[in-house]
């Protein structure tokens, strides 16, 4: 028998990527996760880019089914939460992964430092405002997790305040799950060495200067404290229905393929059906023919 | 000399599509616009689809420049307004044309019948809420023009009310232009025969039933009244800086290529430059190297 040319996607095992990248319950040690690994994919960078493009028809089709369901009374939604250190590629995933989908079915929110008005309303208020409507795929570029990450590392609030937030986040996310939102939380995991290369690249290319912020170097100095804060969040807010996934992200092409594959598997699990006609098809054909 | 294979894009004239499709000032007679024509393109359907895909790198690059400008204090924005009869392809343009761009730089709003709360606030209130922020490309699937289209045809408000709206719209759009928004208003022009085919196709395909609404046939019966209302809007709200474009839309591939080309030409006219560094590049390289 002729061997089929491998596309790079590891089809040997029955393991879904959702299972392979899921953070097990218990303490989290990010050193144990290799940020250059490519679980579920054993091909080259070029094959990885082709594999990503190849997801387009399928992911678009499932997205449209979910959208159609939402238009006909369904209430299910997906929320992709993207977290990671500067340059880990939250924007890149949206551009190259979510960019394969119909933008009408996406609701993308990029969270910056909260405004004073937002702060007064409690840290979850602006998050609730940004939740996707029925049938949509919401994407958060940063999220409520900043309130236990930078807020903790930078002492923006007192320890008892950020300490309480883990439980508040858990209750909030359980509420989301109960209301029909499938939450997919991805930590884009890069090494400090890879971050240095990416920041250097931004400084070396005048068309990327706008992406560089001197504050990025200050944050970089706090790498160990951020790692600790991420480990705490991944451990404490890793519910059965609201799990975390660690995406090895030193290879951009793998990161984009992996997150898009997680989305595709999530949509397939939801298995939205094309809505049935809520009108008499034959009668409508007659009415239309008469015009 | 060997002939170059034509890509279908009409490169003979110096005419930009923005000039070719612009509605001249004065009375508008939609019968004079051929809805099957393909101005600026003399290739086949297949060539048209390839030509659309070929716009991706350029339109993405210009979009990112505008986005970068907006992130660094610039205030310019683009607003694409899509209007047209049912099935004319407003959603298709977004899916296939805007879908070529980074979804992070898009702000898409689909306007349905206004809610009672929206109605109480005046017809332009919800439109203002949906305007794109700096550096973004806003896309309206239907717009404030519905308030002089269905509102006029269906007598949703008294004639003096809708009659006043043309001037209110002109003042509103002038304000937008002055505030840095380049407004590109596209009327997707289809024939009633083409609409019938498209509605039949929706009834014949169970995966498209969710897109069909029995009300579409009722609206279809009012085709002449809608044509009159569109002609009035295209004539009365066709300012120097806020012009209308008629997009022949019986051929879906042409429609998608044409609107995307209008967007590309608009971005090129704005000519956003990559922002200069607002920090000392050499000093930052030193700081980064020390980490």
pLDDT in tens, A165-210: 999 999 999 999 999 999 999 999 999 999 999 999 999 999 999 9
Does residue B4 surpass a pLDDT of 60? no
Number of A to B CB contacts under 8 A, please give it: 110
* Per-residue confidence (pLDDT) for residue B126, from 0 to 100: 98
**Separation in Å, CA of B207 to nearest CA in chain A:** 6
**Architecture of B42-270 per CATH?**
3-Layer(aba) Sandwich (3.40)
Rg of chain A over all Cα atoms, to the nearest angstrom: 21
What interface predicted TM-score (ipTM) does this complex get?
0.93
Tell me: the pLDDT tens digits for B208-235?
Answer: 999 999 999 999 999 999 999 999 999 9
* Per-residue confidence (pLDDT) for residue B1, from 0 to 100: 38
Asked if B112 is an interface residue toward chain A (Cβ–Cβ < 8 A), one would say: no
CATH says A21-271 is which class?
A: alpha beta
Closest residue in A to B223 (Cα–Cα): A291
**Separation in Å, CA of B217 to nearest CA in chain A:** 6
* Per-residue confidence (pLDDT) for residue A10, from 0 to 100: 75
Closest residue in A to B106 (Cα–Cα): A103
**CA pair distance A98, A92, nearest whole angstrom:** 9
Does residue A11 surpass a pLDDT of 90? no
Question: Are B45 and B251 contacting, i.e. CB atoms less than 8 angstroms apart?
Answer: yes
Domain limits of chain B? 42-270
Structure tokens that stand for B201 in this block: 């196709």
Tell me: the pLDDT tens digits for A155-174?
Answer: 999 999 999 999 999 999 99
* Per-residue confidence (pLDDT) for residue A275, from 0 to 100: 97
Confidence of residue A8 (pLDDT cuts 50, 70, 90): confident
Helix (H, G, I), strand (E, B) or coil at A199: helix
Is there a contact between A103 and B95 if contact means CB atoms under 8 Å apart?
A: yes
Closest residue in B to A95 (Cα–Cα): B102
Asked if B45 is an interface residue toward chain A (Cβ–Cβ < 8 A), one would say: no
**CA pair distance A281, B40, nearest whole angstrom:** 40
Asked if B134 is an interface residue toward chain A (Cβ–Cβ < 8 A), one would say: no
Structure tokens that stand for A244 in this block: 């975390």
Is there a contact between B217 and A72 if contact means CB atoms under 8 Å apart?
A: no
**CA pair distance A157, A170, nearest whole angstrom:** 19
Find the mean pLDDT for residues B198-210.
Answer: 98
- Which residues of chain A lie closer than 8 angstroms to B87, CB-CB? none
**CA pair distance B144, B226, nearest whole angstrom:** 15
Asked if B279 is an interface residue toward chain A (Cβ–Cβ < 8 A), one would say: yes
Asked if B229 is an interface residue toward chain A (Cβ–Cβ < 8 A), one would say: no
Q: What are phi and psi of B183, to 5 degrees?
A: -95, 125
Which of B220, B274, B279 is facing A214, going by the closest CB pair?
Answer: B279
Which of B199, B274, B288 is facing A206, going by the closest CB pair?
Answer: B274
**CA pair distance B250, B19, nearest whole angstrom:** 20
Asked if A61 is an interface residue toward chain B (Cβ–Cβ < 8 A), one would say: no
């Amino acid at each position: 028998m002729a061997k089929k040319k491998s596309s790079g996607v590891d089809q040997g095992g029955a393991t879904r990527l959702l299972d392979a990248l899921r953070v097990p319950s218990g303490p989290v040690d990010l050193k144990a996760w290799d940020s250059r690994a490519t679980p579920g994919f054993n091909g080259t960078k070029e094959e990885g880019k082709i594999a990503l493009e190849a997801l387009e028809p399928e992911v678009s089709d499932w997205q449209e089914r979910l959208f159609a369901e939402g238009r006909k009374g369904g209430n299910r939604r997906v929320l992709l939460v993207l977290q990671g250190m500067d340059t880990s590629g939250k924007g890149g995933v949206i551009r190259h992964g979510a960019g394969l989908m119909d933008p009408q079915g996406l609701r993308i929110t990029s969270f910056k430092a909260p405004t004073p008005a937002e702060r007064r309303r409690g840290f979850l208020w602006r998050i609730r405002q940004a939740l996707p409507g029925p049938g949509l795929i919401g994407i958060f570029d940063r999220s409520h997790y900043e309130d236990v990450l930078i807020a903790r590392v930078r002492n923006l609030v007192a320890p008892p305040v950020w300490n309480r937030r883990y439980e508040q986040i858990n209750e909030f996310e359980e509420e989301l799950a109960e209301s029909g939102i499938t939450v997919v939380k991805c930590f884009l995991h890069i090494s400090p060495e890879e971050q240095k290369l990416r920041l250097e690249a931004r400084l070396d290319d005048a068309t990327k200067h706008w992406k560089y912020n001197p504050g990025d170097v200050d944050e970089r100095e706090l790498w160990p404290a951020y790692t600790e804060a991420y480990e705490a969040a991944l451990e404490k807010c890793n519910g059965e229905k609201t799990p975390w996934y660690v995406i090895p992200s030193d290879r951009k092409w793998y990161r984009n393929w992996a997150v898009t594959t997680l989305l595709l598997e999530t949509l397939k699990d939801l298995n939205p059906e094309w809505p049935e006609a809520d009108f008499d098809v034959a009668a409508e054909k007659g009415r239309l023919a008469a015009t």
